[in-house]
Amino acid sequence: MNNIVELKMMLREDFALRGRTVGNDDLGVGLKKKEELKNCIDEINVKRALVSSVLFSVATPFVILMIHLFKLFDLHMWITLLISMFVELFQIANVLILYFLLKNKEVDKYKIVYIIYYGVTIAAFIAAAAMDMDNSGSEIIYIVTCVYFIFVPILNDKIRIPFIAGQTILMIFFILLLDLRLRSLFDIAIVQLGTTFLSKYQYNLTERIEKISENLRRKTLYSEQDALTGLTNRRGLKNKAELIWPYCQRRKVPVGIIALDIDFFKKYNDKFGHLEGDKCLKVIADTIKEATQRSSDIVTRTGGEEFLVFVQDITPKEILSLALNIRAKIEEQSIVHAYCGISKYVTVSMGISTTIPKFDYEFNDLYDEADRALYQAKKNGRNCIVFDGNLYGRMKDGMSQIIGME
């Protein structure tokens, strides 16, 4: 069971690099692209907020200690402790919350969390900047605050403008409250103007980079996806096998291939035409996909009427049961065939091969074995399954029948 979980995680990471899975009907739709782009930027913000909270939770005790030891600010000890406890607890709480958001992939649902985090953190920066200006007349902490705002959070106009307005109002409030020099108001206006333009530039730059990356991921996804059925194509199968096979070799995880071929599909096309033939292929593809319940199973259209299912961490009995289930579900579709020599409905022939991968045995070797078993199934009358030298025929009372090989 642990092997299945690890394989799922490997596949998820591979999909993250190659692009998120999308349905055929949604490919190229602008609205979906926009939503995916927004989710990407949300995820960037959560990751940056997490890194920021970790760094600040580590740094805060040292900063407060330095303030107390070197008397950088004229604060009573209890005020120092109160501030340090609040800042530290806030940062640690955010570390935990943001970590679980990323772990559970719920970034889009909790956008408010990173917005509150950035808001409170920047407000704390502003308060520290005001105290620094009051004690030393320096504006360094305030400038650092603006630099942090420009380069850490990636915020759109709808969020960024209220942030900048609030930041400006808060800073002016502290200047008036602490009776700081009026020159500071001019400095703040200049710095805030620069912050406004630079933060917008940073957002636009990130958005462009993400758009380019998303387009590249989509192109990669399309190149690995069969246009008609939406299944993985040969190229996608090769790439996924290259990812999974070494893992299965190291961990001695059993793997298997079910090779399928629609019986006398040319006759179907000749009678009903290619449009009906395409519809038939889609139904078969959907049926195979529905029968393979595990997300680690890779269903592929390898050619015209040929399909393949690549499975991992499965016993011989389980893979045979899966093949029989696929065969039964295809028969249940009751797709009327043009050729009734086997059945009046569309049927499939299958060949199965399994192994525990060794370092002198490649994925193509397993594929070739399944292909040879499929050839034997065709040779022995079709509408059957060949596995480990046995030929499995029609279902009877839910059990497979073993028929002697010719």
H or E segment and range at residue 152: none
pLDDT of residue 72: 55
Is the model's pLDDT at 13 over the cut of 70? no
Q: Do 238 and 177 belong to one domain?
A: no
How far apart, in whole angstroms, are the C-alpha atoms of residue 370 and residue 387? 8
Token duo for residue 251: 């961990």
- Is the CA virtual torsion 86, 89, 95, 96 positive or negative? negative
Among 194, 223, 252, the domain-final residue is: 223
pLDDT in tens, 181-196: 777 788 888 888 899 9
Asked if residue 357 is part of any domain, the answer here is yes
Tell me which of 40-44, 136-140, 197-201 is least confident.
136-140
Domain range enclosing 347: 234-403
Task: Look over the chain and give the mean of its residue pLDDT values, rounded to a whole number.
Answer: 82
Among 176, 197, 223, the domain-final residue is: 223
pLDDT in tens, 220-239: 666 788 889 989 999 889 98
pLDDT of residue 15: 47
Q: Do 310 and 373 belong to one domain?
A: yes
Asked if residue 14 is part of any domain, the answer here is no
pLDDT in tens, 155-191: 988 999 999 999 888 888 888 887 877 777 888 888 8
Sheet of strand 255-262: strand arrangement = 298-303, 306-312, 255-262, 348-355, 385-387, 390-396, 399-403
How far apart, in whole angstroms, are the C-alpha atoms of residue 24 and residue 96? 37
Asked if residue 123 is part of any domain, the answer here is yes
Q: Do 41 and 115 belong to one domain?
A: yes
Q: Do 215 and 256 belong to one domain?
A: no
Asked if residue 314 is part of any domain, the answer here is yes
- Tally of structural domains, the chain: 2
Tell me which of 193-202, 337-346, 349-358, 394-403 is least confident.
394-403
Among 200, 223, 246, the domain-final residue is: 223
pLDDT of residue 28: 42
Q: What confidence category does residue 61 fall into, taking pLDDT thresholds of 50, 70 and 90?
A: confident
pLDDT in tens, 74-101: 555 555 566 667 777 888 888 888 888 8
pLDDT of residue 178: 78
Q: Do 217 and 80 belong to one domain?
A: yes
Q: Do 202 and 256 belong to one domain?
A: no
Q: Do 255 and 394 belong to one domain?
A: yes
H or E segment and range at residue 254: none
Q: Do 189 and 243 belong to one domain?
A: no
- Alpha-carbon separation of residue 220 from 14, 35, 215, 281, 298 (angstroms): 11, 19, 9, 23, 17
Is the model's pLDDT at 144 over the cut of 50? yes
Q: Please indicate whether residue 75 or residue 153 has the higher confidence score (pLDDT).
A: 153
- Alpha-carbon separation of residue 258 from 121, 127, 318 (angstroms): 56, 66, 12
Q: Do 249 and 219 belong to one domain?
A: no
pLDDT of residue 96: 87
